[in-house]
Amino acid sequence: MDPRLKRILPKVQKPARYTGGEYNQTVKDKDQVELRCALCFPDTYEIGMSNLGMRILYHTINSMPGVWCERCFAPWEDMETELRAAGLPLYALESGDPLKDFDALGFPIGYEMAYTTVLNMLDLAGLPVRSADRPDLLPLVFAGGTSCCNPEPMADFLDLMVIGEGEALDNEVLELLRTAKREGWTKQTYLRAAARIPGVWVPSLYQPEYDEDERFTGLTPLSGAPETVTKRIVEDFENSPFPTKQIVPSTEIVHDRVNLELFRGCIRGCRFCQAGQVYRPVRARSAEKLIQQGIESLQATGYQEITLSSLSSSDYRELGQLCDGLLDYCVPRSIGLALPSLRADNFSMDLMQRVQKVRKSGLTFAPEAGTQRLRDAINKNVREEDLLESCRVAFAGGWNNVKLYFMLGLPTETDEDVVGIAKVAEDVYRLWREHAVNKARGVRITVSTSCFIPKPHTPFQWAPMVTKEEYLRRVKLLRSSIRSRAIVYNWHDAETSEIEGVLSRGDRRVGAVIEAVWRKGGRLEAWSDFFDHARWMAAFEACGVNPDDYTLRPRAAGEPFPWERVNMGVTRRHLWREWELTQEDRLSPDCRAGCVGCGARALLGCCPDHDVEMGGESA
Amino acid sequence: MIEAGTKLRLRFAKEGRAVYISHLDLMRTMQRAFLRAGYPLKYSEGFNPHPVISILLPLGVGAASVCELMDFSLTAPLDEAELPERLTAAMPEGVRALEVYPGGRKVKELKWLELEGVFEYDARDPAEMAAGLRDFFARPSIVITKKTKRGTGESDIAPAIRFLSFSPDEKRVLLRGVISAQEPTLNPEHLANALRQLAPELAPDFAEFRRLEVCDAEMKVFR
């Protein structure tokens, strides 16, 4: 260990997150390694080690002979101060070697508010933040993750982006880098060659164009870069790599448990949901495989809790069989099974009671909108009677803690919809009074609202956001509509949402704002501790960027988007059709009820109206 | 073979990168390591069952040790000769299981701690420092201010020091000593704190410690 680091660690909070050395970490012989890569997660260790994508990529990259992939996370404020004071550059956890000596630095970016942290980590590593200021090939600075589906805001900082699922693509990018390193290619040569790998986006090979009103008009591909880049996906999800020998952190992390991924994609087509659109098509693992992976993971880690993860776990066809199989293993060993993201419409007493055998947690539902009209307009296929029936069953089964999540500011929302949220909560409360088995214990109904943010590659990419003032007016209206004391109302601030709104649908000019905010100290801004709205406003001003132009302006049907040349599988034609259905309050069927022809099936090379299978081959 | 349910004591080392694992995190790490190694820990009974494990003398973050003791029981018979290697293989880097045996002496009979330490001086002469340190720790009374849960308190650490020696090398002073582990407990960090408070000219730029052995009141090895 670096003697400078040894002196720093006793001074910072939770030093174990900066040391590496955890059980199951991968260590390779440096002399036998040709290419060294570090996955640099732009948030803390506790968040990054809880990220399943990070764990999958660590495993798939390390499966390459001669390539060693290590980890790095953003230091907390105290550690950053100490590192800078000691002149110690940011390092990778396994070897302790400085990041600037690596061949490739990969940033998984799942959230736009992490952008400033990416810049800060590059700076802490001793690297210039702009790609153009890093003339050498090595280290290659690349990124992937959901946020890259709009590559423009971070275009000036990253050498390369991988579009889609990293485990389908990262190894090809690194294999080419190995060749480039061995043969001494220039950065330019490498990037032009890499741009020919399907799914690779090289930002410097796309020139943004603006008209005389400074409105974005499109991206021009340079040097033979492809017209569009189509995301890569894992086609055979059943047999795709899943690490059962996962690293077990020696200090507590946010999701300190085994995380089983049931399926990727979502059969629902909620129009506000970016994940539901960009992870299509749906691909599931069989219950048999999942039970085996779950048991192997529990044995290899010693974890005492396992959770099922996916975008909508109750849509998994073999959920009952899967839970039974896992419970057979878990119950005798006092291992907890947690079931997040259940939908209100097919929640069953049976499943609840089976899971309850081990641990009884609170119930969470996300109706998203307060009236059936608006739920139909956003294509949230949840009917109020299903939600209420689920709650009735839950209360009769002894639950007394329900959380309800909603959004304010959704397209077409009226005051009637806002007041409707209070009505839903009051109805849930009424059901508790009628059906609770033990009223003496009381009930807690929590209503949370956040501000709707339109995201690229969704039907709502054309929609304006509401202003902060309007959001707060709706918050007040809702608050005054809630009468019962058993209902607790929490609302998220709209200031972060406003910035996230700009970054989500931003073009390359927003990059200058990101840099300006970072230069004024911005980083870790997903944490309210470090988010500073005024700093963003000052940066918009200084860079001559009007945030309202990105958040409040309705987009025209044919308007070019900065993410136009990225193909996430779902076609623009389909998204526009869904946007039109929104105006008519009309639902679209989910993938099981009928194919809407979104286009994503083409990624599997299948006939687009082929029936979607869920729960493996036998389903 | 040791019968299931027998009270067992594990002696283990915590060194290298593992010195930054906190006591609470180490308890969690132990539970998981036993599971990974296939040793079923005995759980408490009651509403919220948890493994009954107890680490005798919690070790501060940053300090190393080759003499940590932990009490536990298993629900299966144990081949004690096999445990050190198998359990170590299931541990994070830096934690090594050394031996396991049934029973063990009562915790209250543990009294003295043998330790070594390193005082680093960046710009001072180690030989001069060592001489100063010998004089300082020979004082009959060394009263320091400690932070406690109820604000600050004063405490004389001299009676808790049985023996300390200092030997200089190139840039450091090496410390060997025996201090009180219990009643009163002296955290070795307070040796450096005493210097910072009472003799800043002798205070090291960095100090680290390693527990070597635990002993009873008669300085016999405690097991």
Q: Tally the domains of chain B.
A: 2
Model confidence at A608, pLDDT cuts 50, 70, 90, reads very low
Q: Which residue of A has its CA nearest to B18?
A: A21
Judge contact between A614 and A262, C-beta under 8 A: no
Can you give the pLDDT at residue B48? Answer: 76
In 3D space, the residue among A566, A570, A562 whose CA is nearest the CA of residue A600 turns out to be A570
Both B208 and B132 in one domain: the answer is yes
Residues B114 and B154 both lie in one domain: yes
Mean residue pLDDT across chain A: 93
Establish if B35 belongs to a structural domain: yes
pLDDT(A517) > 90: yes
Reduce the secondary structure of A120-148 to three states and give it as a string. HHHHHCCCCCCHHHCCCCCCEEEEECHHH
Q: What b-and-e string marks burial along A173-205, b requiring 16 or more CB atoms within 10 Å of the CB?
A: bbebbbebbeeebebeebbbbbbebebbbbbbb
Q: What is the pLDDT of residues A565-580, one digit of tens each?
A: 999 999 999 999 999 9
pLDDT of residue A619: 31
Domain identity same for A146 and A16: yes
Give chain A positions within 8 Å (CB) of B53: none
Structure-block tokens of residue A36: 């060294």
How many whole angstroms separate alpha carbon A385 and alpha carbon A435?
A: 15
Residue B49 has pLDDT above 80, yes or no: no
Query: B72 falls in which pLDDT band (50, 70, 90)?
Result: very high
In a domain, B222, yes or no: no
Is residue A226 located within the same domain as residue A265?
no
Query: Quick one: average pLDDT of A588-601?
Result: 93
Across A477-619, the runs of DSSP E, i.e. the strands, are: 487-491, 566-567
A7 to chain B: which residues are within 8 Å by CB?
A: 205-206
Average pLDDT (A362-383) is 91
Task: Identify the CATH number of the domain in which residue B48 sits.
Answer: 3.30.70.580
pLDDT tens-digit series, residues A25-55: 999 999 999 999 999 999 999 999 999 999 9
Q: How far apart are CA A13 and CA A284, in angstroms?
A: 40
Q: Are residues B113 and B84 in the same domain?
A: no
pLDDT at A383: 87
Nearest to A163 by CA among A225, A100, A241: A225
Distance CA A258, CA A61 (A): 20
Confidence grade of residue A358 (pLDDT, cut at 50, 70, 90): very low
Dihedral pair phi/psi, residue A90, rounded to 5°: -60, 140
- Same domain as A277, residue A169: no
Q: Which of A313-317, A375-379, A489-493, B101-105 has the lowest mean pLDDT?
A: A313-317
Residues A181 and A290 in one domain: no
| Residue A15 included in any domain | yes
Same domain (yes/no): A13, A142:
yes
Q: What pLDDT, on a 0 to 100 scale, did the predictor assign at position B127?
A: 97
Looking at the fold, whether A222 and A263 belong to one and the same domain comes out as: no
Q: Is residue B85 located within the same domain as residue B172?
A: no
- The alpha-carbon gap from B137 to the nearest alpha carbon of chain A, in Å, equals 24
- Domain shared by A226 and A261, yes or no: no
| Last-in-domain residue among B104, B136, B159 | B104
CB pairs under 8 A between A and B: 72
Please check whether residues A131 and A54 belong to one and the same domain: yes
In a domain, B113, yes or no: yes
Confidence of residue A338 (pLDDT cuts 50, 70, 90): confident
Domain-ending residue, one of B104, B128, B151: B104
- The pLDDT of residue A381 is 83
pLDDT higher than threshold 50 for residue A614: no
φ and ψ of A616, to 5 deg: 85, 180
pLDDT tens digits, one per residue of A185-233: 999 999 999 999 999 999 999 999 999 999 999 999 999 999 999 999 9
Residue B34 counted as domain residue:
yes
Strands A67-73 and A35-41: parallel
Q: Which two tokens stand for residue A440?
A: 């003496």
CB contact under 8 A, A250 and B92: yes
Shared domain for B98 and B18, answered yes or no, is: yes
Place A610 in a pLDDT band, splitting at 50, 70 and 90: very low
pLDDT number for residue A616: 36
Residues B125 and B190 in one domain: yes
Would you place residue A612 in the very low, low, confident or very high pLDDT band (cuts 50, 70, 90)?
Answer: very low
Q: Is residue A544 part of a domain?
A: no
Q: Which of A1, A14, A19 to mutate to test the interface with B (most CBs of B within 10 A)?
A: A19
Nearest CB partner across the interface for B17, out of A21, A301, A302: A21
Based on DSSP, count helices (H) and strands (E) in chain A, helices before strands: 20, 19
The tokens describing A40, both together, are 């640099």
Please indicate whether residue A200 or residue A315 has the higher confidence score (pLDDT).
A200
Domain contains B3: no
**Does one domain contain both A226 and A262?**
no
Residue B22 belongs to a domain: yes
Same-domain check for residues A96 and A225: yes
Residue A293 lies in a domain: yes
Contact B70, B10 (CB under 8 A): yes
Q: What is the mean pLDDT of chain B?
A: 95
Task: Specify if A542 maps to a domain.
Answer: no
Q: What is the mean pLDDT of residues A451-464?
A: 98
A299: which chain B residues are within 8 Å (Cβ-Cβ)?
35-36
Q: Are residues B69 and B100 in the same domain?
A: yes
For residue B185, the domain's CATH number is 3.30.70
Q: Would B64 be classed as within a structural domain?
A: yes
Show which residues on chain B lie within 8 Å of chain A, measured between beta carbons: 16-18, 20-22, 25-26, 28-29, 31-36, 43, 49, 61-62, 90-94, 205-206, 208
**B208, A6: Cβ pair inside 8 Å?**
yes
Record: contact A302-B34, CB cut-off 8 A: yes
Res A341: pLDDT: 53
- Cross-chain residue pair A9–B34, CB shorter than 8 Å: no
Structural contact between residues A238 and A614, judged by C-beta atoms closer than 8 angstroms: no
Domain that holds residue A42: 3-230
Q: Are residues B55 and B14 in the same domain?
A: yes
- B160 and B124 share one domain: yes
- Is B32 within 8 Å of A248 when comparing Cβ atoms? yes
For residues A199 and A275, state if they share a domain: no
* Residues B59 and B90 placed together within one structural domain of the fold: yes
Last residue of a domain, one of A213, A230, A247: A230
Co-location of A22 and A133 in the same domain: yes
The answer to whether residue A381 is domain-embedded is no
* CATH number reported for the structural domain that contains residue A309 in this entry: 3.30.750.210
Q: Which residues are CB-contacts of A345 (< 8 A; sequence separation ≥ 6)?
A: A381, A382, A383, A386, A387, A390
A292 touches chain B (CB under 8 A): no
What pLDDT sits at residue A355?
64
Mean pLDDT of B11-31: 97
Looking at B73, B104, B135, which one is the last position of a domain?
B104
Q: Is residue A162 part of a domain?
A: yes
Q: What is the CA radius of gyration of chain B?
A: 20
**Which residue in chain B is spatially nearest to A2 when comparing CA positions?**
B17
Determine contact: A334 vs chain B, CB below 8 A.
yes
Query: Please, which pLDDT band fits residue A397 given cuts at 50, 70 and 90?
Result: confident
Q: How far apart are CA A578 and CA A494, in angstroms?
A: 26
Which band of pLDDT confidence, cut at 50, 70 and 90, is reported for residue B159? very high
Q: Band the pLDDT of A607: cuts 50, 70, 90.
A: very low
> Which of 430-449 (A) contact B at CB < 8 A?
none
**CATH code for the domain in which residue A98 is found:** 3.40.50.280
CA separation (Å) from B27 to A396, B22, B59?
Answer: 38, 9, 12
Q: Is residue A274 part of a domain?
A: yes
Q: For residue B21, what pLDDT is reported? A: 98
Distance from CA of A49 to the nearest CA of B (A): 16
* Element spanning A208, H or E: strand A206-210
- Residue B2 in domain: no
> Does A383 reside within a domain?
no
Give chain A's domain count. Answer: 2
Which domain does B87 fall in, by range? 8-104
Average confidence (pLDDT) over B104-133: 97
B184 prior amide bond cis, ω within 30:
yes
B160 and B100 in one domain? Answer: no
Token pair of A233 as six digits: 């996906």
**A contact test, residue of B36, B53, B210 with most A CBs within 10 A:** B36
Rounded average pLDDT over B2-23: 97
Domain shared by B67 and B148, yes or no: no
B25–A250 CB contact, under 8 Å: yes
Three-state secondary structure string covering A273-327: CHHHHHCCCCEECCHHHHHHHHHHHHHHHCCCEEEEECCCHHHCCCHHHHHHHHH
The amino acid at A269 = G
| A284-303 pLDDT, tens digit each | 999 999 999 999 999 999 99
Q: What is the pLDDT of residue A469?
A: 95
- pLDDT at res. A347: 55
pLDDT confidence of B75, banded at 50, 70, 90? very high
Q: Is the pLDDT of residue A369 over 80?
A: yes
